[in-house]
Amino acid sequence: MQVVSTFTQCLLFFSFIGPYFQSFSEARGAASSVIRFIEEENDTRINETNEWKEDAKSFHRINGDIEFDNVNFKYPSRKDTSVLRNLSFVARAGQTTALVGSSGCGKSTCISLFLRYYEPSSGRIAINCRPITDYNVKHLRQNIGVVSQEPILFGMSIYDNIRFGVANATRGEIEQAAREANLHDFIMQLPNKYRTLIGKHGIQLSSGEKQRIALARAIVKQPAFLLLDEATSALDNISEKNVQEALNRSCKD
């Protein structure tokens, strides 16, 4: 009887801890991925710890023409598929350049390459004839503003979401950016105005309102390069026209 009782207790014990084995296994798998990432050697081509290859005291303002010279690219997860083949073009400083093509042709990939999320398989990307690999990644990205079709917003106020582009931006700069994004009048109609909370991922806003907040966030940064990835796709015709006119004025400035 004692053997049966002990056996029964063991069964109860294992039935109790059984569900925790799956959680432990999942946690161990996740931890392994994190550890591999931490121990992974840095790609020397994308080394964010190196200082800019010029005088460290200089102002890290980067501007000029963007040049893609015979660029080829395949995503690491799809090495059998070429996304870009021998792509060459020049985007002149102070002008608006549009990349036009069908979905999946590589327009967003060009932005990812310019931001150095990936490196070209071959070819060169340069700013004023200087390869972007000559610049520290952090400094390069500080000069770039990006607005995507599905912008990332945070569960905080409209003011803080715009200020996220530049933490020390003044109230006047934030309001001016909102005006250029055709957003200020909408904000002023809200009960809490710029202090209105937008909910997680901006759930309380329409797609167009989200895009305009993201656009204001990019504008307040006053980037040398403003990259729009179908950033006005959710705007009505009037809003899109007003935003485009504001962007044109910014380019001239």
In this structure, which amino acid lies at residue 177? A
**Over the stretch 102-119, which tens digit does the pLDDT of each residue have?**
877 888 899 999 999 999
Token couple for 70: 């015979």
**Over the stretch 3-40, which tens digit does the pLDDT of each residue have?**
556 656 655 655 665 565 566 566 665 565 556 555 54
The domains located in the chain, with CATH, are 66-142 (3.40.50.300), 146-252 (3.40.50.300)
How many angstroms separate the CA atoms of 142 and 166, rounded?
A: 10
Token couple for 118: 């990936």
β-strand pairing of 144-147 with 225-228:
parallel
Helices (H), 40-150: 107-114, 137-142
In the numeric block, the tokens 């059984």 are attached to 18
What's the pLDDT at 5? 61
pLDDT at residue 168 is higher than 70: yes
Mean of all residue pLDDT scores within the chain: 79
Average pLDDT over residues 87-112: 87
Give the confidence band of 149 by pLDDT, cuts at 50, 70, 90: confident
CA distances for 215 relative to 9, 104, 220, angstroms: 63, 23, 9
Give the confidence band of 177 by pLDDT, cuts at 50, 70, 90: very high
What's the pLDDT at 41? 46
How far does Cα 165 stand from its chain's mean position? Answer: 11
How many angstroms separate the CA atoms of 151 and 246, rounded?
A: 20
What's the pLDDT at 23? 62
Helices (H), 40-134: 107-114
What's the pLDDT at 72? 95
Helices (H), 40-157: 107-114, 137-142
CA dihedral 113, 117, 120, 125 (to 10 degrees): 40
Average pLDDT over residues 193-209: 87
Q: Look up residue 157 and give its DSSP letter.
A: B
Neighbours of 64 (CB within 10 A): 16
What's the pLDDT at 54? 44
Residue closest to 230 by CA, chosen among 205, 250, 211: 211
CB 84 within 8 A of CB 110: yes
How many angstroms separate the CA atoms of 173 and 163, rounded?
A: 9
pLDDT at residue 57 is higher than 90: no
β-strand pairing of 130-131 with 144-147:
unpaired
In the numeric block, the tokens 């715009």 are attached to 162
Neighbours of 159 (CB within 10 A): 19
